[in-house]
Amino acid sequence: MQSKKFILSEKDIPQAWYNVVADMKNKPRPLINPGTKEPLKAEDLYPLFSKAASQQELNTTDRWIEIPDEVREMYRIWRPTPLVRAYGLEKYLDTPAHIYFKNESVSPVGSHKLNSAIAQAFYCKQEGVTNITTETGAGQWGAALSLAAKHFGLELAVYMVKISYEQKPYRRSIMQTYGAEVIASPSMSTKAGRKIITDHPNYQGSLGTAISEAVELAMSTPNCKYVLGSVLNHVALHQTVIGLEAERQMEMAGEMPDTVIACFGGGSNFSGISFPFLRYKLSGERDTRFIAAEPASCPKLTRGVFQYDFGDEAGYTPLIPMYTLGHNFSPANIHAGGLRYHGAGSVISQLKHDGLIDAVDIPQLETFEAATIFARTEGIIPAPESSHAIAATIREAKQAREEGKSKVILFNLSGHGLIDMTAYDRYYSNDLANYEVSQEEIDNNVKNLEKII
Amino acid sequence: MQSKKFILSEKDIPQAWYNVVADMKNKPRPLINPGTKEPLKAEDLYPLFSKAASQQELNTTDRWIEIPDEVREMYRIWRPTPLVRAYGLEKYLDTPAHIYFKNESVSPVGSHKLNSAIAQAFYCKQEGVTNITTETGAGQWGAALSLAAKHFGLELAVYMVKISYEQKPYRRSIMQTYGAEVIASPSMSTKAGRKIITDHPNYQGSLGTAISEAVELAMSTPNCKYVLGSVLNHVALHQTVIGLEAERQMEMAGEMPDTVIACFGGGSNFSGISFPFLRYKLSGERDTRFIAAEPASCPKLTRGVFQYDFGDEAGYTPLIPMYTLGHNFSPANIHAGGLRYHGAGSVISQLKHDGLIDAVDIPQLETFEAATIFARTEGIIPAPESSHAIAATIREAKQAREEGKSKVILFNLSGHGLIDMTAYDRYYSNDLANYEVSQEEIDNNVKNLEKII
Could you give phi then psi for residue A224, rounded to 5 degrees?
A: -120, 130
Asked if A422's CB is within 8 angstroms of B173's CB, the reply is: yes
> Would you say residue B50 has pLDDT above 70?
yes
Say if CB A211 and CB A49 are below 8 A apart: no
**B81 in any annotated domain:** yes
Q: Chain A interface, mutation test: which of B173, B178, B181, B369, most A Cβ atoms within 10 Å?
A: B173
Predicted local confidence at residue B272, as pLDDT: 98
CB-based contact (8 Å) between A144 and chain B? no
Predicted local confidence at residue A168, as pLDDT: 84
Which residues in B lie closer than 8 A to residue A174 (C-beta atoms)? 381, 418, 421
Report pTM: 0.93
Which residues in B lie closer than 8 A to residue A422 (C-beta atoms)? 169-170, 173
Predicted local confidence at residue A48, as pLDDT: 94
What's the pLDDT tens digit per position in B285-304? 999 999 999 999 999 999 99
Asked if B110's CB is within 8 angstroms of A73's CB, the reply is: no
Asked if B150's CB is within 8 angstroms of A376's CB, the reply is: yes
Which residues in A lie closer than 8 A to residue B426 (C-beta atoms)? none
Rounded distance between C-alpha atoms, residue A437 and residue A451, angstroms = 24
Which residues in A lie closer than 8 A to residue B421 (C-beta atoms)? 169-170, 173-174, 177, 419
Residue type, B65: I
Which residues in A lie closer than 8 A to residue B179 (C-beta atoms)? 376
Which residues in A lie closer than 8 A to residue B150 (C-beta atoms)? 376
The mean predicted confidence, pLDDT, of chain B is 95
Which residues in B lie closer than 8 A to residue A3 (C-beta atoms)? 76-77
Of A106, A178, A416, which is closest to B375 when you measure between CB atoms? A178
For A149, which DSSP code? Answer: H
CB-based contact (8 Å) between B7 and chain A? yes
Say if CB A177 and CB B424 are below 8 A apart: yes
> Would you say residue B333 has pLDDT above 90?
no
Q: Name the closest residue on chain A to residue B170, using Cα atoms.
A: A421
Q: Chain B interface, mutation test: which of A75, A77, A374, most B Cβ atoms within 10 Å?
A: A77
**A340 in any annotated domain:** yes
CA distance A124 to chain B (A): 18
What's the pLDDT tens digit per position in B305-327? 999 999 998 999 999 999 999 99
CA distance A94 to chain B (A): 16
The confidence band for B436, taking pLDDT boundaries of 50, 70 and 90, is confident
* A194 class by beta-carbon count within 10 Å (0-12 exposed, 13-18 middle, 19+ buried): middle
> Would you say residue B2 has pLDDT above 80?
no
pLDDT in tens, chain A (453 residues): 566 899 999 899 999 999 999 999 999 999 999 989 999 999 999 999 999 999 999 999 999 999 999 999 999 999 999 999 999 999 999 999 999 999 999 999 999 999 999 999 999 999 999 999 999 988 999 999 999 999 999 999 999 999 889 888 899 999 999 999 999 999 999 999 999 999 998 888 988 899 999 999 999 999 999 999 999 999 999 999 999 999 999 999 999 999 999 999 999 999 999 999 999 999 999 999 999 999 999 999 999 999 999 999 889 999 999 999 999 998 898 999 899 999 999 999 999 999 999 999 999 999 999 999 999 999 999 999 999 999 999 999 999 999 999 999 999 999 999 999 999 999 999 999 999 899 999 999 999 898 887
Asked if A77's CB is within 8 angstroms of B5's CB, the reply is: yes
Count Cβ–Cβ pairs < 8 Å, chain A vs chain B: 111
What is the number of domains present in chain A? 1
Asked if B174's CB is within 8 angstroms of A421's CB, the reply is: yes
For A309-349, the three-class secondary structure string (H helix, E strand, C coil) is EECCCCCCCCEEEEEECCCCCCCCCCCCHHHCCCECCHHHH
* DSSP string of B266-285, one letter each residue: SSHHHHHHHHHHHHHHHTTS
**B333 in any annotated domain:** yes
Of A178, A419, A421, which is closest to B376 when you measure between CB atoms? A178
Predicted local confidence at residue A2, as pLDDT: 61
Of B233, B225, B189, nearest in space to B209 by CA? B189
**A305 in any annotated domain:** yes
What's the pLDDT tens digit per position in B92-118? 999 999 999 999 999 999 999 999 999
> What contacts A136, CB < 8 A, 6 or more positions away?
A142, A143, A145, A158, A159, A160, A161, A164, A171, A175, A210, A229
CB-based contact (8 Å) between B252 and chain A? no
Which residues in B lie closer than 8 A to residue A106 (C-beta atoms)? 106
Domain with residue A263: its CATH number is: 3.40.50.1100
CB-based contact (8 Å) between B257 and chain A? no
Of A268, A262, A247, A334, nearest in space to A298 by CA? A334
Domain of residue B353, residue span: 7-12+66-110+234-446
Burial code (b: 16+ CB inside 10 Å, e: under 16) for B342-360 equals: bbbbbbbbbbbeeebbbbb
Share of chain B above pLDDT 70, in %: 99
Predicted local confidence at residue B273, as pLDDT: 98
**B291 in any annotated domain:** yes
Residues in a beta bridge with A132: A156, A225
CB-based contact (8 Å) between B270 and chain A? no
Q: Name the closest residue on chain B to residue A372, using Cα atoms.
A: B177
Asked if B424's CB is within 8 angstroms of A173's CB, the reply is: yes
Rounded distance between C-alpha atoms, residue B60 and residue B31, angstroms = 13
> What contacts A222, CB < 8 A, 6 or more positions away?
none
Asked if B424's CB is within 8 angstroms of A176's CB, the reply is: yes
CA distance A287 to chain B (A): 31
What's the pLDDT tens digit per position in B265-274? 999 999 999 9
Asked if B421's CB is within 8 angstroms of A169's CB, the reply is: yes
**A251 in any annotated domain:** yes
CB-based contact (8 Å) between A174 and chain B? yes
The confidence band for B207, taking pLDDT boundaries of 50, 70 and 90, is confident
Of B173, B379, B421, which is closest to A425 when you measure between CB atoms? B173
CA distance B211 to chain A (A): 26
**A105 in any annotated domain:** yes
CA distance B306 to chain A (A): 39
Predicted local confidence at residue A448, as pLDDT: 86
Which residues in A lie closer than 8 A to residue B108 (C-beta atoms)? 379-381, 416
> What contacts B81, CB < 8 A, 6 or more positions away?
B102, B103, B104, B106, B107, B242, B245
Asked if A151's CB is within 8 angstroms of B379's CB, the reply is: yes
Rounded distance between C-alpha atoms, residue B399 and residue B378, angstroms = 21
Taking the CA atoms of chain A, what radius of gyration do you get in angstroms? 20
Which residues in A lie closer than 8 A to residue B424 (C-beta atoms)? 173, 176-177
Which residues in A lie closer than 8 A to residue B384 (C-beta atoms)? none
**B434 in any annotated domain:** yes
With H, G, I as helix, E, B as strand and everything else as coil, classify residue A17: strand
CB-based contact (8 Å) between A69 and chain B? no
Residues 424-453 of A with CB under 8 A from B: 424-425, 428
Alpha-helical runs (H) found in B314-363: 346-353
Q: Name the closest residue on chain B to residue A369, using Cα atoms.
A: B177
Asked if A379's CB is within 8 angstroms of B108's CB, the reply is: yes
Which residues in A lie closer than 8 A to residue B376 (C-beta atoms)? 150, 177-179
Which residues in A lie closer than 8 A to residue B85 (C-beta atoms)? none
Omega of the bond leading into A186 within 30 degrees of 0 (cis): yes
CB-based contact (8 Å) between B72 and chain A? no
